[in-house]
C-alpha cells in the first residue's frame, strides 16, 4: 500500500506537494514524510500519524525537487524513523510495496548502518552502494537485485535528478508545464495535468535536467510509453454537510443504484454495456467464478446465488488471496467466466490472479469502480458507477457491485432463454426503498446506542442473507473494533452456538423468503440460550418475529434477489453509528487502507 509522490520542475510550494499527497491518504495513513531540495540541500521531515501533522513542519518555501510518502506499515511499526523517505547522503527514497529479499540485501551490504526496521531502506543503500558518478547506472544495477512488488521514487540533491521505478505497484507520471509530477494514482495529479504516462512493469522513468527517458529493465532497452489525455472527471469528494464521508456514501446509495443501471436496462430488457454484451454473446459460459477480496468478495458470494439460481450456471466465489496460490495448471478454463470484483481496481491479490488467468487465455470480466485503475485498463470491464468512495469501509460500492452482478446474471439468463418474471421491473424501483430506509435512520441510531457496549456480536442469515451477514460483521469489526462473527444460520448448530449467551447479541437477517420457518427455528434456538436477537424483518416476518426477538429493524418486502441490497443498509448504519458513538475515526479506521496494494 502507501502513497508516493515525486516532483521535479519549476519551483512549487512544498505545501502544494503535501496537498497532492493528501489525496493518496486512502492508501495508508499511519505515518508520513517528505524530502525536498532547498538550494541543493536535502531537507527531511517525517512524522508518525497523518499528513496533517507534516503541514506544521514545513514553511512556505518553494522547491524544484521533492518526494513525499504516506505509509501503511508492513515492516516496522509506524513511527517517525520507519516513516519514509529514507535517506543516505544526497539520496532519498519513498517506496510502495514490499522488497521481499531485503534481508539478503542487508547481508550483501554488510557494514552499512540501517536506521529503520523497514524493507524499503535497502533501496537507497543499494543505490548509494552502486553510485559512482552516474545515478542512472546505479539505479539499473540496484533494481536487478530487488525482488517483490515495488514502486519507488528516488531523488538526488547532488545531481538534481528524479527517478521513478515500477514493478507491480502502480505509478503514473504527469507531464506538466516545465516539469513532472509522479504519483501512485491519476486522480491525485489531475489538478496538475491531464497528460499522463502510466508506467509498466520494469520501467525506470528517469528525469535529468528537464528531459526524461524510460528504460525497461526487464526488456533491457529504452522504451516509449503513450501519453494519455485523461478526459474523465473526479467525483465530488466533499462531505456535503455529513459528519463523515461514510455516512454521506451510505446516503448516496439510492442515486448509485440509479446511476449504475442507467442505460443498461431498456424496455424492461437487460442490455448491459455494448462491449460487454458483445463479449458475452460470443462466449460460451457454463461456469462463473467470482474472485475478489473483503467486501467485494461478499458481493461475489451474492453473485454465486444469482448465477446458480437465475442464470443456471455452476458457480463459486474465491478469495483472491487464496486463489492466487492455487496451482491452476489443471483448472478447466473452458466455458468458465472469471469475474474479478474490486472497488479500487488496484487490489494486489485480485489483480495478480486476473493477470495470471489472462496469461492462460481465460475468459475474464472485471467489475472495478475506479475508472482508470489498473483493472479497468487491463481487462474488459463492466464498471460500477458508485463515484469516488472516500470512507475506507466500502458501502455504496458494495451496493453497486450487487446491481452489476444481478444485471450480469439476468443477461446470462436471457441468453439461455430463462424467463424471470418481474425482477427487472423491481430493479428499476428498488432505489426508492433504499431511500426510505435512510429516512428512518433514527431507529438504527437508537439501536446502535443501546447495543454499543457489547464486545461481541453474531451475524446470521441463510441463502442470500448469508453474504450480507458476513458484510454486516465486517463493517462492525473494521470501524467499531467490535468482535463480530458471521455464519450461515444453518451452520450455527455445528459449533458457533456454543458462543451464544446474554453477552453476545445476534443480528439475525430475517426478511421473508423460502427459509422463513428454518430461520424462525434458529432464532428460537438463540432465544432458548438467553441470546438477545435484533431481527432485520419486513412486513411479512415482522408479525412472526415480534413476540420473540428483542429488537426489530424493518425493511420493505421485496423480491428475495433484491433483499441483499436493502438488508445491507441498516447493517452499514448500525456499524457507523456505533463507531461514531464510540468516537472512532470512522472514515480512516486504524490499521486499514482503502486500496490494498500489498499481499
**Which of the residues are catalytic?**
2, 594
How many CA atoms lie within 13 Å of 559's alpha carbon, on the beta-carbon side?
Answer: 16
Q: Do 248 and 254 contact (CB within 8 A), yes or no?
A: no
Q: Answer yes or no whether residue 295 interacts with ligand F6R by CB under 6 A.
A: yes
Containing 570, the helix (H) or strand (E) segment is helix 563-581
37 interacts with ligand F6R by CB under 6 A:
no
Site string for ligand F6R, 459-498 (x = CB under 6 A): ---------------x---x--------------------
Q: Does 596 bind ligand F6R (CB under 6 A)?
A: yes
Q: Which of 394, 400, 473, 565 binds ligand F6R (CB under 6 A)?
A: 394
Tell me whether residue 149 or residue 197 sits nearer to ligand F6R (CB atom): 149
Identify the DSSP state of 489.
Answer: G
Nearest CB to ligand F6R, comparing residues 6 and 28: 28
User: Could you tell me the smallest distance in angstroms from the CB atom of residue 585 to ligand F6R?
Assistant: 14
Smallest gap from Cβ 587 to ligand F6R, in A, equals: 12
- Is 296 a binding residue for ligand F6R by CB under 6 A? The answer is yes
Query: Quick one: which segment of 86-94, 113-121, 222-230, 336-344 binds ligand F6R (CB under 6 A)?
Result: 336-344
Q: From CA 415, how far away is CA 303, in angstroms rounded?
A: 17
Q: Could you say which residues in the range 341-360 bind ligand F6R, by CB under 6 A?
A: 342-344, 347, 350
Minimum Å gap between C-beta 73 and ligand F6R is 16
Cα dihedral 134, 136, 138, 143, rounded to 10, equals: 180
Q: Which residue in the shown chain puts its C-beta closest to ligand F6R?
A: 294
The nearest distance, CB 60 to ligand F6R, in angstroms, is: 37
Q: Is 253 in the site for ligand F6R (CB under 6 A)?
A: no
533's torsion region: left (phi>0), alpha (psi -120 to 50) or beta?
beta
CB atoms under 10 Å from CB of 566, counted, come to 23
390 lies in the binding site for ligand F6R (CB under 6 A):
no
Stretch that binds ligand F6R, among 117-125, 176-184, 290-298, 508-516 (CB under 6 A): 290-298
**Which of 124, 474 has the CB closer to ligand F6R?**
474
* CB-neighbour burial class of residue 551 (10 A; exposed 0-12, middle 13-18, buried 19+): middle
Query: Of the two residues 167 and 474, which places its CB atom closer to ligand F6R in the complex?
Result: 474
The least distance separating ligand F6R from the CB of residue 385, rounded to whole angstroms, comes to 15
Q: What order do you get walking across the sheet with 456-461 strand by strand? A: 483-488, 456-461, 506-509, 533-537, 551-554
- Whether the link from the prior residue into 271 is cis, omega within 30° of 0, is no
Alpha helix (H) residue ranges in 360-498? 374-378, 396-415, 423-439, 441-451, 465-480
The answer to whether residues 354 and 330 touch, using CB atoms and an 8 Å cutoff, is no
Q: Does 293 bind ligand F6R (CB under 6 A)?
A: yes
Among 24, 311, 393, 437, binds ligand F6R (CB under 6 A): 393
Shortest distance, position 382 Cβ to ligand F6R, whole Å: 15
CB atoms within 10 A of CB 81: 15
Residue 294 binding ligand F6R, by CB under 6 A? yes
Residue 96 sits in the site that holds ligand F6R (CB under 6 A): no
Residue 307 in 3-state DSSP? helix
How many C-beta neighbours within 10 Å does residue 517 have?
A: 9
* Positions in the binding site for ligand F6R (CB under 6 A): 293-296, 342-344, 347, 350, 393-394, 474, 478, 596
Amino acid at each position: 500500500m502507501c502513497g508516493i509522490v515525486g516532483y521535479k520542475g519549476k519551483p512549487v510550494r512544498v505545501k502544494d506537494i503535501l496537498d497532492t499527497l493528501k489525496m493518496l491518504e486512502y492508501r495508508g495513513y499511519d505515518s508520513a514524510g517528505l524530502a525536498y531540495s532547498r538550494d541543493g540541500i536535502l531537507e527531511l521531515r517525517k512524522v508518525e500519524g497523518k499528513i496533517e501533522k507534516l503541514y506544521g513542519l514545513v514553511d512556505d518555501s518553494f522547491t524544484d525537487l521533492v518526494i513525499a510518502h504516506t505509509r501503511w506499515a508492513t515492516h516496522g511499526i509506524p513511527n517517525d524513523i520507519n516513516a519514509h523517505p529514507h535517506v543516505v547522503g544526497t539520496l532519498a527514497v519513498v517506496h510502495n510495496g514490499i522488497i521481499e529479499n531485503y534481508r539478503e540485501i542487508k547481508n550483501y551490504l554488510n557494514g552499512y548502518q540501517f536506521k529503520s526496521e523497514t524493507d524499503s531502506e535497502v533501496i537507497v543503500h543499494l543505490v548509494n552502494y552502486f553510485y559512482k558518478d552516474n545515478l542512472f547506472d546505479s539505479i539499473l544495477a540496484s533494481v536487478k537485485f530487488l525482488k517483490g512488488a515495488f514502486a519507488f521514487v528516488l531523488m538526488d540533491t547532488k545531481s538534481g535528478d528524479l527517478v521513478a521505478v515500477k514493478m507491480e505497484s502502480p505509478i503514473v507520471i504527469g507531464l506538466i508545464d516545465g516539469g513532472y509530477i509522479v504519483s501512485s494514482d491519476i486522480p491525485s495529479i489531475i489538478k496538475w495535468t491531464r497528460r499522463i504516462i502510466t508506467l509498466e512493469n520494469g520501467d525506470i522513468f528517469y528525469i535529468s535536467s528537464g528531459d526524461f527517458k524510460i528504460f525497461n529493465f526487464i526488456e533491457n532497452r529504452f522504451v516509449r510509453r503513450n501519453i494519455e489525455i485523461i478526459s474523465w472527471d473526479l467525483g465530488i469528494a466533499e462531505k456535503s454537510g455529513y459528519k463523515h464521508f461514510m455516512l454521506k456514501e451510505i446516503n448516496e446509495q439510492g442515486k448509485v443504484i440509479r446511476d449504475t443501471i442507467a442505460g443498461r436496462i431498456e424496455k424492461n430488457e437487460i442490455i448491459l454495456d455494448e462491449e460487454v454484451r458483445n463479449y458475452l454473446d460470443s462466449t460460451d459460459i457454463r461456469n462463473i467464478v467470482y474472485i475478489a477480496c473483503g467486501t467485494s468478495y461478499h458481493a461475489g458470494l451474492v453473485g454465486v446465488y444469482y448465477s446458480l439460481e437465475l442464470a443456471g450456471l455452476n458457480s463459486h466465489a474465491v478469495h483472491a488471496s487464496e486463489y492466487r496460490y492455487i496451482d491452476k495448471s489443471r483448472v478447466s478454463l473452458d466455458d468458465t467466466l472469471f469475474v474479478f470484483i474490486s472497488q479500487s481496481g488496484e487490489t494486489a491479490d485480485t489483480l495478480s490472479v486476473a493477470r495470471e488467468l489472462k496469461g492462460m487465455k481465460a475468459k475474464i470480466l472485471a467489475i472495478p469502480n475506479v475508472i482508470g485503475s489498473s483493472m479497468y485498463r487491463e481487462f474488459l470491464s463492466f464498471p460500477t458507477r458508485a463515484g469516488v468512495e472516500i470512507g475506507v469501509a466500502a458501502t455504496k460500492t458494495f451496493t453497486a457491485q450487487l446491481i452489476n452482478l444481478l444485471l450480469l446474471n439476468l443477461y446470462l439468463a436471457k441468453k439461455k432463454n430463462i424467463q424471470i418474471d418481474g425482477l427487472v421491473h423491481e430493479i428499476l424501483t428498488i432505489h426508492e426503498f433504499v431511500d426510505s430506509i435512510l429516512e428512518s435512520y433514527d431507529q438504527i441510531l437508537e439501536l446502535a446506542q443501546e447495543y454499543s457496549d457489547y464486545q461481541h456480536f453474531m451475524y446470521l442469515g441463510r441463502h442470500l442473507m448469508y453474504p450480507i451477514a458476513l458484510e454486516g460483521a465486517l463493517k462492525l469489526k473494521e470501524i467499531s473494533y467490535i468482535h463480530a462473527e458471521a455464519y450461515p444460520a444453518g451452520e450455527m448448530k455445528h459449533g458457533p452456538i456454543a458462543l451464544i449467551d446474554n453477552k453476545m447479541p445476534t443480528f439475525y437477517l430475517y426478511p421473508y423468503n423460502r427459509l422463513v420457518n428454518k430461520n424462525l427455528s434458529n432464532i428460537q434456538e438463540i432465544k432458548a440460550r438467553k441470546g438477545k436477537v435484533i431481527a432485520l424483518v419486513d412486513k411479512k416476518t415482522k408479525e412472526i418475529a415480534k413476540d420473540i426477538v428483542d429488537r426489530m429493524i424493518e425493511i420493505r418486502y421485496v423480491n428475495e434477489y433484491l433483499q441483499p441490497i436493502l438488508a445491507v443498509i441498516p447493517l452499514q448504519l448500525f456499524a457507523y453509528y456505533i463507531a461514531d458513538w464510540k468516537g472512532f475515526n470512522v472514515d480512516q479506521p486504524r490499521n486499514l487502507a482503502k486500496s490494498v496494494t500489498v499481499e
